[in-house]
């Protein structure tokens, strides 16, 4: 019984931890201006971040994503955006924070 309680509380605290991390990342996205055009699960101007994660699932997309957020660009989501480009974010957002945001998005 004791073991079970321990296991349950461990799972619960891991859940809380990852939610806190997501909240931090969302706050960073908000502060960086991303949420003007993106939401987790619906298209605003840019594609839903969940759709981005789904498209690149199982691929090694991180480096390309970082480049796209740094330099901006278009052409990957034309059918969703009708050709609106993603603006460049470097150096407005630090490399470290861009990597954090990309890790967060790709893990959705
Ligand atoms: C002015 C609106 C706008 C803002 C602000 C914006 N984006 Fe985007 N984003 C877009 C558009 C439009 C696309 C689709 C580009 C394309 O078709 O390749 C996009 C695409 C993306 C993609 C997918 C790229 C790909 O190649 O599949 C990621 C990841 C992304 N944005 C992250 C971010 C992050 C992180 C921020 C904040 C630092 C941000 N965006 C801010 C409009 C925006």
pLDDT in tens, 5-61: 555 555 554 555 567 778 899 999 999 999 999 999 999 999 999 999 999 999 999
All structural domains of the chain with their residue ranges: 2-106
- CA nearest neighbour of 25 among 40, 41, 14: 40
Residue 95 CA to ligand 1 center (angstroms) comes to 16
Do residues 107 and 61 touch, judged by C-beta distance below 8 A? no
CATH architecture under which domain 2-106 falls: Orthogonal Bundle (1.10)
pLDDT classification of 4: cutoffs 50, 70, 90: low
- Which residue CA neighbors atom 35 of ligand 1 most closely? 101
- 55: CA distance to ligand 1 center in Å? 14
Classify 86 as helix, strand or coil: strand
Nearest Cα residue to atom 38 of ligand 1: 34
Q: CA neighbours within 13 Å on the CB side: how many for 52?
A: 29
Q: What are phi and psi of 38, to 5 degrees?
A: -130, 150
For position 22, what pLDDT does the model report?
A: 84
């Amino acid at each position: 019984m004791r073991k079970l309680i321990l296991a349950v509380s461990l799972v619960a605290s891991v859940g809380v931890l990852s939610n806190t991390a997501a909240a931090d990342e969302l706050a960073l996205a908000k502060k960086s201006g991303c949420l003007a055009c993106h939401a987790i699960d619906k298209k605003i101007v840019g594609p839903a971040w969940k759709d981005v994660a789904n498209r690149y699932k199982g691929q090694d997309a991180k480096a390309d994503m970082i480049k796209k957020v740094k330099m901006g660009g278009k052409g990957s989501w034309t059918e969703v955006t009708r050709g609106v480009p993603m603006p460049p974010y470097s150096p407005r957002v630090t490399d470290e924070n861009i990597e954090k945001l990309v890790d967060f998005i790709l893990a959705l």
